[in-house]
Structure 1
Amino acid sequence: MRGSSAFLDRIAGRRAAALLTDGRLEDFLIDPPEDGPAVPGAIFRGLVERPLKGMGGVFVRLPDGKGFLRHSKGLSAGQPVLVQISSHCEPGKAVPLTQKLLFKSKYAIVTPGAPGLNVSRAIRDEETRLQLRVLAAGIMEGSGFGLILRSASANAPEDKIAEDIAEMRAQAEAVTANADGAAELLLDGPDAHALAWREWGSPDEVMTEPGCFAARGVLDDLASATAPLEDLSGGGTMAVEPTRAFVAVDVNTGADASPAAGLKANLAAARALPRALRLRGLGGQIAIDFAPLAKKDRRQIEQALQAAFRSDAVETALAGWTPLGNFELQRKRERTPLDAVVRKALR
């Protein structure tokens, strides 16, 4: 099927969303387990505990546990503070927190701690940028909050954009007015269905019927796309294996023994890696053991990685080559990783 299709269903009782483009699975989102921590985007009023010398931050008491807040200068023990979960936490670690609150929707992001009105750089038409600025300035008049208009607002109806901005402003005002008191959840983070609506634009087809994953073959596609060993174009393979410390990626040439086999497999892996990480929900430190290649070809691999991650929605930093010849990435933990329960449901 040509075009894009979004499927909203459940796996193992948890909300999940899948995006297919021209019949190929391109993105996947799933809620964390019910007994897991709150998702990124959730906002709390927490209570500061004592500073941790040498760690550059403090623990913050939350309603159901603790979080870790970096850059905590000026905070004292017992002080209430508004914090937002910035990324998924690793098992056994405190929830990562930030004081830079973002109230994010499909078209607009309200930023209480960063005043100013900004329009996405992806919107290049000057007339459109001016119209959006005028619209936003009217709705944000009298507010000390900042606003970012997202790229999706370029072709959206003005009334929808205006509604989105007004809703995010009201939400930000309500939350920031509750800065004092005991530890409390003030705003839950988006579930998988809400996140899909927010981030996937306007798909040509949206399926919401229960069981649509199985009926349209999405479960089979997901099981195949997230298998431990992934086939690459040209005959090579790529293994993606998360560990407690980092995500290990191993690239092999397969049966191809030609002189150009290593470079060919590595370029294919560089192009396939963003999708592989998206579908598995993986982030953090990523170490890639590329197939053997000459040092003169490293620049070509770097350029392929840069091009592949440029259009990826998840923030990823290319750290570079290690002395052992591996390549390292640092990727934000924005997604819920596929766990054993989900993988069992896909079998």
Structure 2
Amino acid sequence: MSNELLINVTRQECRVALLEGGQVVEFYIERKGDSSYVGNIYKGKVVKVLKGMQACFVDIGLDKAAFLYVDDIKGGIKELYPFLEGDEETEIIPKFEELSKSRKPEEIKLDFKDISIEELVQEGQEILVQVAKDPMGTKGARVTSRITLPGRYVVLMPGMEHIGVSRKIEDEEKRKELKELAAKIKPPGFGLIMRTVSEDATEEEIQKDIDFLFLLWDNIQKKKDKTHAPSLIHSEFDLVLRSLRDFMSQNVDRMIIDSYIEWQRLKEFAQVYFPRIADKIELYEGEEPIFDAFGIEVDLDRALERKVWLKSGGYIVIDQTEAMTVIDVNTGKFVGKENLEDTILRTNLEAVKEIAYQIRLRNLGGIILIDFIDMEKEENKQKIINAMTEVMKKDRAKTTIYNITELGIVQMTRKRTRESLEHILCDSCPYCEGKGRVKSIRSVAYEILRKLKFMTVPQGAELTVVANPSVADLLTDEERDSIEEIENIKKIRITIKKDSMLHQENYSLHKNIS
């Protein structure tokens, strides 16, 4: 089956789904007023240097200061200090305390690996940074001074001399050919990474891509010199144009969009910069909503469920925490036809494919722990690792998979630049406040009884308990004797009232003294 890129555009949001063989494998959403900052370039001001963490906070004009780690500064040293010379291992770094002295900056040599944060930046300094990760939760954006400008065929890296080729291109001859081409056409003082789609591009197309990015960088430099921090210097393409640039590879047969205005914009953009793929852009004119027509809404609903069933009857459970994602594999209804080890292996192998699919679709990032069902044979454990490594090759994000532990757990990391699908589409439950559980009706009822028992009230007073109907029913039925006992001991009257608007855990006690 063909691979397709579907784009749904409304006034409120833009949604993009990448389909492989008719199944959605990646999903992106950009909402009005809540778009991604990744790729944006800012002129920022250092507001605080954290020596202990070897990092600094940079004001780039967002609600929260961005976080800049020392290694992300070292990579962009030449942009911070354009007079520097040297290779990637040893750089000439000016210490601020030395700048006022007679020695020339180029006379101060330091081991690149030993440079500390305070030798690179000072509070109040203005620097050019690019957002690498969006703000997430309570954390501000992660930024870097290693500026990268992605085109369709190449990524241009100002101030670096690195040449790279996408890891998705596996043919060694082709990799060598692309490296030689990059070295030939690379502008002096710039690094170059050949993207996956460059594999089938002509030298002319790649050169045109570089020329466009070089002109873009020149405009960024001019704007940077004219503005004061904090200010936005360059804004990354919106999701519609990014989809055309980043996802329309030789493996994608067509792009279908349901907005006539955006379809026109895409066609015009493609005809100027990517004429070979302009004919792949189609306008959807069906009566049924595009995501319903292709069955995407159903897949998105499944991607928000905690439990995912496997065809064999087994299932996986996915739990996201703030620090990591934990995935548990269970045999469920699958009992197998042969021995136990074979049943477990089959379930684990089936789970591998579903887990890889769910990781991409849900955009799970950071640390991921996968608790496979325990296996006895080492060769079977290796089969799981090999299968996991193979299926994750399709993933655009960088992943690292480690060997299975003695407890049967596979540890892996996946580069995270944006929030997961769950965090984008869902809010924490206002009922359980994100805990996933609430106190039982009986626990809340007993808590109320304890408070009533130890409350200090004068004789003859009337107490009113207002509680959730389920809790109130338990108090007036099963625990009626307990209520009466408290009334007799304290010589008071207790009235139980129901409030269906109350959270199950919430209640109130009111004293009515006559």
Query: Same-fold call, TM > 0.5?
Result: yes
Contact 1:15/1:31 (8 A) holds in 2? yes
Counterpart amino acid of residue 58 in structure 2: V
CA drift at 1:107: 0.6
Counterpart amino acid of residue 233 in structure 2: L
2:243 corresponds, among 196, 199, 203, to: 196
Counterpart amino acid of residue 195 in structure 1: R
1:149 aligned partner = 194
Answer with 124-133 or 288-297: which moved more.
Answer: 124-133
Counterpart amino acid of residue 142 in structure 2: P
String of CA shifts for 1:48-77, please: whole Å, max 9, x gaps: 122113212111111113111111531111
- Give, in whole Å, the separation in 2 of the partners of 1:28 and 1:328: 24
1:256 aligned partner = 334
Gaps of 5+ in 2: 74-116, 260-288, 428-514
1:104 pairs with 2:153: no
Higher RCO (CA < 8 A, seq sep 6+): 1
Contact 2:136/2:418 (8 A) holds in 1? no
Counterpart amino acid of residue 43 in structure 2: R
- Give, in whole Å, the separation in 1 of the partners of 2:144 and 2:243: 23
- Count of equivalent residues: 340
- When residues 55 and 123 of structure 1 are mapped into structure 2, their CA distance, relative to the original with a 3 A threshold, is same
1:84 corresponds, among 130, 136, 150, to: 130
- Give, in whole Å, the separation in 2 of the partners of 1:114 and 1:186: 20
1:330 aligned partner = 413
1:174 corresponds, among 197, 204, 219, to: 219
1:69 aligned partner = 68
- When residues 76 and 321 of structure 1 are mapped into structure 2, their CA distance, relative to the original with a 3 A threshold, is farther
Q: Which has the larger radius of gyration?
A: 2
1:205 pairs with 2:254: yes
CA drift at 1:229: 2.0
Q: Which runs of 4+ in 1 moved over 6 A?
A: none
- Give, in whole Å, the separation in 2 of the partners of 1:50 and 1:208: 45
1:288 corresponds, among 370, 385, 389, to: 370
Contact 1:45/1:80 (8 A) holds in 2? yes
Answer with 293-302 or 42-51: which moved more.
Answer: 293-302
- When residues 33 and 267 of structure 1 are mapped into structure 2, their CA distance, relative to the original with a 3 A threshold, is farther
Structure number having the greater strand percentage: 1
Counterpart amino acid of residue 25 in structure 1: V
Contact 1:12/1:341 (8 A) holds in 2? no
SS, match of residue 207 in structure 1? strand
Structure number having the greater helix percentage: 2
- Give, in whole Å, the separation in 2 of the partners of 1:192 and 1:280: 18
What RMSD in Å do the two structures reach over aligned CA positions?
2.9
1:236 aligned partner = 314
Counterpart amino acid of residue 46 in structure 1: G
1:41 aligned partner = 39
SS, match of residue 247 in structure 1? strand
1:270 aligned partner = 352
1:59 aligned partner = 57
- When residues 35 and 193 of structure 1 are mapped into structure 2, their CA distance, relative to the original with a 3 A threshold, is closer
CA drift at 1:6: 1.1
- When residues 284 and 215 of structure 1 are mapped into structure 2, their CA distance, relative to the original with a 3 A threshold, is same
String of CA shifts for 1:249-302, please: whole Å, max 9, x gaps: 111111123412322222222222232112112211212122233362332222
CA drift at 1:159: 4.3
- Give, in whole Å, the separation in 2 of the partners of 1:12 and 1:281: 25
1:222 aligned partner = 300
CA drift at 1:129: 6.1
Counterpart amino acid of residue 162 in structure 1: Q
SS, match of residue 171 in structure 1? helix
- Give, in whole Å, the separation in 2 of the partners of 1:134 and 1:226: 45
2:24 aligned partner = 25
- Give, in whole Å, the separation in 1 of the partners of 2:403 and 2:178: 41
2:463 aligned partner = none
Contact 1:226/1:279 (8 A) holds in 2? no
2:233 aligned partner = 186
- Give, in whole Å, the separation in 2 of the partners of 1:12 and 1:255: 45
2:453 aligned partner = none
Answer with 60-69 or 185-194: which moved more.
Answer: 185-194
- When residues 125 and 148 of structure 1 are mapped into structure 2, their CA distance, relative to the original with a 3 A threshold, is same
- When residues 56 and 241 of structure 1 are mapped into structure 2, their CA distance, relative to the original with a 3 A threshold, is same
String of CA shifts for 1:198-250, please: whole Å, max 9, x gaps: 33214222211144222332222322344322222433211222222211211
SS, match of residue 314 in structure 1? coil
- When residues 11 and 227 of structure 1 are mapped into structure 2, their CA distance, relative to the original with a 3 A threshold, is farther
1:245 aligned partner = 323
Q: Give the % identical residues.
A: 28
Contact 1:87/1:332 (8 A) holds in 2? no
